[in-house]
Structure 1
Amino acid sequence: MVSVIMGLSTGGRGFACEKRMGKPGARRVQCGWFGPGTVSAMALTIRQVVALPDLGLRVLTPNSDLSRVVRWVATSELSDPGPWLDGDELLLTTGMRLRDDPDSCAAYAEAVMASGAAALGFGIGLTFDSVPHALLEAGQRIGLPIIEVPTPTPFVAVSKAVSRSLAAEEYEAAERSFGTQRSLIRAALKEGGDVNVVSLLARHVNGFAVCVDAAGGVRAASPPGAARRIGEWRAELERLRPQGVRASSVISNADEHVAIVPLGVKGGGDGFLILGASSALQANDVAVMNLAVSLLSWGLVRDAGRGSAWHRLAIDAIRREGSAQVPMAELGLGSLEHGSARIVLAIAAESADAGTVSHAGDHAGELAAAINALPSSIATALGDGQVLAFIPESVVARPDARKLLEEAGRAVVSGPVDLDDVPAVEATIVRARRTALSRPGLTRLDDASAIGLAGLVDPGTARAWAHEYLRGLRESSEGPELLVTLRAWLASHGQVDATGSSLGVHRHTVRHRLRRAEALLGRGLDDPQVRADLWFALGQVDP
């Protein structure tokens, strides 16, 4: 049996297909740009969770697979929690609905196992003084790890400990990703850039990387022996080549995950990057890979004598440079040959009427492409629906350009900026982004009446005040979730139901988060002055 699912998104480069081979150990092939289904989230193993300090957790099922991953902690007293789980959770329960008999325990263990939960954490001291023996037997029989949660340990302590550990891992991975991105940009600017980029990328994923040209010839490989494997992917390269830059593949088996990504700016593509690792790429790894794709594409385009395409790719690198701290002058932004320009930061609408696109990611890609089609203009989609563009003054005034920006959802147009003035460019990008995040519609930074209160306050002073105002939230482990909720609630004019719909959570969850936010802020959200201050403060900090 072979099933094939194919589709084409509205975003130009969104081709996707999936092929599954119906036999044991067969590989799965997915084609398309990497979405949530092809990127691995941060996770701990059961062994790591049990070892967390001050929890007193104990594995009660001998020979359990403690290498199973835990991506989150969930609590449920339902007999069948499956419909409310995503998989890979540590499921916590006190067994309120569990009967201490073999049939009931077996049915419950099988339901938990079928839900995809990584392990069952059983809290003792409320319903049962110890974990029922029948449940332990059932878990041992079907391979479900069962962990005892002692009476003094509240479930929320387990949840917080796992959350903190996951956050620490994510922070460490992000730091490592930023470091690699800095190195990649510098490596690409040196002699032998492609070889340098491929070597760094392979080292980052602890695997291999191969860059090939349009004909399948190897331009660079790391380790060098990876070039000898090109024959393994020849058929897949031939299948992808006619689709140009619209498709990619992820080839997975038990031992290896290989991503094949096209290189180039548009059309038929100029080559491929083949990246292999022992496990699925994390989100930060994908960000590193995407930068490498941009830099390798630049190398291919440059060598093909199409140096003007570097302008678009340079903007992609400059966006990443914001965190990588590489001088923008090194990237040649000043070589853009249209003199003084306007910087545009747009955030694509999440929903749109006729003539626009319903998905922010797709809309951002289309918006960037449309701006690139304007005379002497350069744009790139940054992720999260954001687009950064450099447009000549004369072009910004054109009706088609204005219409394009008005349909973006949120767009900020700077005053004239000399692109050779690197500090001014950097400061303007930051200011434009903050304004776009806080104001819907089209805003011009050189129109004092349109930029609002934020434009009248020194940005450094405003940011320092905002950090102090939000200190209680930002220092809490719940802070990121509460800040997102407050933004959505204020944007929904204090309507709880609308906030819940926009966040995809129940209205009771919104109310609970608002109460927690009030406690951490030390201020009541019913006060209109507090709401105004909070909205201003949120506009000064990164979302």
Structure 2
Amino acid sequence: MRTASTGTLVRGVPVRDVLSLSSLSGAELMAGERGLDRVVQRLNVMEVPDILPWTKPHELLLTTGYPLRETPQSLCDLVTALESRRLAAVGIKLGRYLDELPADMLAAADRVGLPIIRLPDDVAFDDILNQVLTDILNRQAAVLARSEEAHRALVSVVLAGGALEAITDELSRLLGGTVMVTTPDGRLLASSDSRNEDEAARQAAPATRRALFDASGRFRVERFKHGAGALEDPGTGVALVPILAGALDHGRVVLISAGRTLDESDIQVLERAAATAALVITKDLAVAAVESKYQGDFMRDLLAGRAGDPAHTVRHCASLGWAIDRPLIVVVAQLEPGESPDPDSDDLRPAHERFATAWGMVVRERDARAAVVGYSQEVVVVMGASQRTAPGETVRQMVTQVSGDGGGGRRSFSTGVSRVVTDPALLPEAYEQARRAAKVGRQMHGPGGIADFDSLGVYRLLSLVPDSAELTSFMRETLGELASREDEETTDLRTTLEVLLDTNLNVAETARILHFHYNTLRYRIGKLERLLGAFTTDSHLRLNIMLALQVRRMRGL
């Protein structure tokens, strides 16, 4: 069980279960019903006035009221003090030293949620002590036995060569419900139903699904801490345990169980599973690191045109699981420069590793034979071009999945898409197209921009100008005051100019679009010509102005 205030896993017996024991038959809950889920780990007897310094958290405190008989007026303060020490509950016998408890004491107990229990007159303290402590020990023994059974089963799975899917299947058998292994930011790595990775989401009610998963299918790890989580849907239990190996956070083990409340034994089994999963992930990462370096070096040669004979290149890529003898597109996704990691993220891996992992998972859902290689600041994807969906639309869908809803500590990135190529020899050219599209997309739309090379238009030419200062100078000389002033009048004039040029100087259509009177627009055109020159009759000046407006839209100059 987990305490709400600290999030620490606490093993013991809830107060409500203690009240069901035979030794407390006839006990009466006088106040603090809200605290019945507090956990009892130990017991104590208070028969001296200075018991407060000796109380401990999660303790059931028993008393006859003897030390309180002389100062009933201080009982309200005592409740506050016991609550500050995280006491589980107070059991008191009335009639011998105290006939009743003050109303303000009971009100204080209700306010802080500290259960006050009236003990039966005929029960001895040693009977309560023996029975409660026996129940605590029996429960802990059962938890340890279940945890040990799970540990043996999981170790057998790993020794037999089982991967993460085998671990989730075994956990599902042991615990019931759906078990998932995710990345630190919530991307699904394995599920107990390998045939349908969204089964966990479908088992829950729609409102619960939205609480657990975002629109891209990412589990919302940021909403849950170590242990069992609370949902608005009481019929669905959720528990999460991090997968840690030294200082590295490798992900989460998640249990979603409909129809029962998860308890501490479930958490202990998940903790054992997390340790086992860490071994599997660490082994896989070691293998992947070697493969990734080799694949990354070969991809560099391929995109630089140094891979050698085309037939040999196709065969070598096939040995890596890549198919390049088909229509392809190249996608370049670049992390935004200078952006610091999310301080709230628990993932200690380098950002580019998490970034490459996310892209690899999303791309291979669509194309198992695609190449996905991560470098220090960018991920390069070489994938098949769909005949049914435009490349730009496909990539936008993938970007949505990689980005998620912003949870999990992800950083923003810009994405560029090349033209479709049908010859592997054209991949270097396609790579440069994708990189240029990513750069121009960032200039046009800011961080997180997505651009298709074919849709860049004149920006492809402008991006080739190496001297950004020259572009800025051209823009300012051509537009004059319209280049940099941001007052309302200048902004309106700039908008009028852009719409006028877009309509090919159609004054009537421009007036309709801007909701101006025809004469008002003629007046504005005259003012623009006084600022810029006779652009309505000079086609060369008009071309310069249109180019200058495009330069002004570009960022990062």
- Normalising by structure 2, we get a TM-score of 0.38
- Normalising by structure 1, we get a TM-score of 0.39
**Greater Rg by CA:** 2
